[in-house]
Amino acid sequence: MEAALAEELLEIAQTTKSPTLKVHNQVPGGVHCSGDLYDAYRVNLHSRIASRVLMRMGVCHYQNENDIYDLVLAQPWEEWFGVEHTIRVDVTAIKSPLKSIEFITLKIKDAVCDRFRDMYNKRPSVNTREPDMRIAGFLDQRQFTIYLDTSGEALFKRGWRTETGDAPLRENLAAGLLRVSGWKPGMPLFDPMCGSGTILCEAAQMVQGVPPGARRSFAFEKFHDFDPAPWRDMKAAIKPNPLPAEPTIFGSDISGDMVAMTRHNLKSAGILFEVPLKQIEAQQVQPPVSIEKTGPGILLTNPPYGERIGVRGDSTMPEDDLAKSFYADLSKTLKQRFAGWTAYLFTADLNLPKLLRLKESRKTPFFNGALECRLFRFDMVAGFNRREEAIPANAATQEKAAAPEQPTSKE
């Protein structure tokens, strides 16, 4: 989602009128940007796609763990937080020649604690569950970078989610899918397998103009030099959008429990307008709006797999056969009922187009955690799965009338 994040950061700089927030290069898993500390506030408040906003403290070439220890020890941690704050250290490495990430993590923690002990004869405590401050180390083949996390809890934790299904999408991944699909507030959006409603909640907050960080706290609020006045001003400057007169976001799911969960999550996310929801099988859905009235819509969904496909299926049928049957029926529904729509299906099953018997017009690689996924785009045109179904009804009648009568027998 690096390109989507870079695009979003430029928008944040523009909409918040920040003259200092600059976007630099994209790197695997992130985007480099620069600005003053207030820009970190802005990105934490407004970014739907970022997982964390990390402030770079120092960088060096390294040969061994002692080089890492020396760089971390030299950083002025005491200018940012106090010995009374708890800390946690996380390390990520790509192609590093050093053998043990656990040992590097220990060296970083020791360096931070030694810095405080040298200055105050006290050291901060470690809290891996709910730390006040998170410190992140990153190693590639030759270079080590140390960061202080300005976010605290990962940014996908918006503060509204209380209920989830079996395998919920992360909120920032849902926001990335919405951006890559080209959906904008005002366009019809339909998720026919909505699960706990993450895609719908993200889209609805965008329609309403609710920033993702409006309902939560951040690590930077515990920094020594945190200035609450500009932070209050930033939040006070949020102007919600007018509520839509007609619904444009729609969802459904085979499970009544999931529909109830989505309704609950929309309420928790502060959504004040109607998002119509139905309990219905995905193979049976109809477009929720007329294309003549609203223009083309976007169908965006994360299809279930395995047991969830069979919520109401035949439990005696093998899982593979159940999936084939499900996707054959879904394909027929898309082709027969959603002409003019663009369908986006996000899945870890790279054989999805084959199961649907549809040719994708685009596939965008994503990672859902460590799982390699694709966002498949299908431009729907009128058509049917079977050749005989494509014969118009009146033509079929004429063909039958023209055929010679066949003898019949009764049993």
The string of pLDDT tens digits covering residues 352-385 is 999 999 999 999 999 887 788 999 999 998 554 4
Flag the least confident range among 16-30, 36-50, 364-378: 364-378
Contact residues for 115 (Cβ-Cβ < 8 A; gap 6+): 72, 73, 75, 77, 78
pLDDT at 80: 98
Q: What is the rounded average pLDDT of the residues 141-164?
A: 90
How many percent of the chain have pLDDT more than 70?
88
The CB density around residue 95, as the number of other CB atoms within 10 Å, is 8
223: left (phi over 0), alpha (psi -120 to 50) or beta: beta
Q: Tell me which of 401 and 239 has the higher pLDDT.
A: 239
Contact residues for 102 (Cβ-Cβ < 8 A; gap 6+): none
Q: Which tokens is 81 given?
A: 């937080």
* Cα separations in angstroms, 389 against 36, 127, 332: 63, 63, 10
Q: For residues 172 and 104, is the Cβ–Cβ distance under 8 A?
A: no
List the Cα angle 368/370/376 in 5-degree steps.
40
pLDDT at 292: 84
The domains of the chain, with CATH numbers, are 2-149 (3.30.2130.30), 171-211+240-380 (3.40.50.150)
Q: Tell me which of 401 and 343 has the higher pLDDT.
A: 343
State yes or no: pLDDT of 399 exceeds 60.
no
SS3 320: helix
Mean pLDDT of the chain: 89
SS3 279: strand
Which phi and psi (to 5°) does residue 279 adopt? -95, 110
Q: For residues 159 and 114, is the Cβ–Cβ distance under 8 A?
A: no
pLDDT at 167: 63
Q: What is the rounded average pLDDT of the residues 113-126?
A: 97
State yes or no: pLDDT of 313 exceeds 60.
no
d(CA 202, CA 176): 10
Helix (H) or strand (E) holding 30: strand 30-34
State yes or no: pLDDT of 43 exceeds 80.
yes
Flag the least confident range among 44-48, 195-199, 313-317, 348-352: 313-317
